[in-house]
Homo-oligomer: A and B are copies of this chain.
């Protein structure tokens, strides 16, 4: 079942991943892990490159996890192209690609669920109830299977990153959860496997989302601290595009995701829009002390 693709192992069985990881760990190698749903783009590849540069062994998982899709969502349509993903991963020097079947991951269904309600029941979670439960649960499963030292997540899914990071701390998992900067197309649109759903016209308009976040950031750097004004700045730009429906545009605490009224030193502006039947999300960290979005989190919630 398992193949060697160049130097990359392609593995479908949990037991084979465990054996691979066990061998690596017994040689004191560190393991970097990038969990994905496949349809790899430069965002994923940036995570893989970072895993490869920071760890001895880089493992990619490709698994379109059914439990994180709502009944009305795009589980069936979600883009799948494993041979393409495999080639890209191989080119980067990924050491192992784990692509289990649904049957392998859920041989008897899954009665067990992991939740981080305080972080999950808002923003994306309010619009996609149960989504983060599926994400947290499958990530815990994958962490138990792959046993990484470091797991890499894109900042694009900021709420997801914070939920996984909190879960790892709360449950005393030993890995480090790493968030990596958003990778964007030349017009600013955050890369997403779902961008392929966009029509040509929607695609042209989609870049307004990032422009709206940047306009709020510019206002912030002019000295504006009021959350409502910063949100309204971004919203007003999006209102000019009749195709865009804003689902949320909220400035929240970077750790608790609680809405804030005034930005002290740092906050994150989280946004979701609908373009036709496609949802797009994006975010920007507003911070007074450092340039860009790469500053260390303030650790308000846990050390």
Interface string of A78-95 (1 = CB under 8 A from B): 000000000000000000
B113 touches A115 (CB 8 A): yes
Q: Which of A115, A141, A166, A167: most chain B Cβ within 10 A?
A: A115
Please state if B119 and A14 are interface contacts (CB–CB under 8 Å): no
Q: Mark A275-303, 1 if CB is under 8 A from B, else 0.
A: 00000000000000000000000000111
Interface contact A111-B116, CB-CB below 8 Å: yes
CA distance in complex: A170, B136 (Å): 13
Q: Which of B108, B118, B141, B303 contacts A301 (CB 8 A)?
A: B108
Whether a CB of chain B sits under 8 angstroms from the CB of A110 is: yes
- Count of A interface residues, CB-CB < 8 Å: 31
Question: In the assembled complex, how far is the CB of residue A68 from the closest CB belonging to chain B, in whole angstroms?
Answer: 15
Of A46-54, A56-64, A171-179, A264-272, the segment with at least 4 beta carbons within 8 Å of chain B is A171-179
Asked if A239 lies at the interface with its beta carbon under 8 angstroms from chain B, I say: no
Give complex CA distance A18, B116 in Å: 25
Given A107-B302, A145-B172, A174-B144, decide whether A112 and B167 contact each other with a Cβ distance below 8 A: yes
